[in-house]
Copies of this chain bind each other. A is one copy, B any other.
Amino acid sequence: MNWLDEVPWNEHGMVAAIAQDAASGKVLTLAWMNREALAETAKTGQAVYWSRSRNKLWRKGEESGHVQKVRELRLDCDADAVLLQVEQAGGIACHTGHQRCFFRKLEGEKWVETDPVLKDPAAIYHKR
């Protein structure tokens, strides 16, 4: 069986994709992949997702330069997810300029921003 057929694609043909920093172990992002995105990720060794907002393939870093080199690709038991160990170019995974998308932590009954903005998003997307 083709390895892509073993992925439990959901009703929209998607699988959740968790990117984890290979060096620090930090979980950087949760994004989505369709079959084409996962195939291209495996083939090129760089993370490719499906952008649900733009409705097209999203070659991570194509605008920001913050590509993710994939060191390892894992599949879970049944919860519709793959796990990527990545090397994060620029050390920034999030479009907000944070290292990771999970920059807010629950403290009591408030989400508190605990991580710094490493680079102004305007500088990431408009000044290259």
* Interface size counted on chain A using CB atoms at 8 A: 36
Are B74's CB and A105's CB within 8 A? yes
Cβ contacts under 8 Å, A78 to chain B: 101
Count of chain copies: 2
Cβ-based interface call for A27 (8 A): yes
Are A74's CB and B3's CB within 8 A? no
Cβ-based interface call for A102 (8 A): yes
Are A79's CB and B31's CB within 8 A? yes
Min CB gap A70→B, angstroms: 9
Chain A residues 22-46 with CB under 8 Å of chain B are 25, 27, 29-31, 42
Contact of A98 among B18, B77, B79, B111 (CB under 8 A): B77
Residue of B nearest to A26 (CB): B25
Cβ-based interface call for A123 (8 A): no
Residue of B nearest to A98 (CB): B77
Query: A73 with B103: in contact, given A27-B20, A83-B27 (CB under 8 Å)?
Result: no
Residues of A within 8 A of B (CB): 2-3, 6, 16, 18, 20, 25, 27, 29-31, 42, 72-81, 83, 94-96, 98, 101-106, 109-111
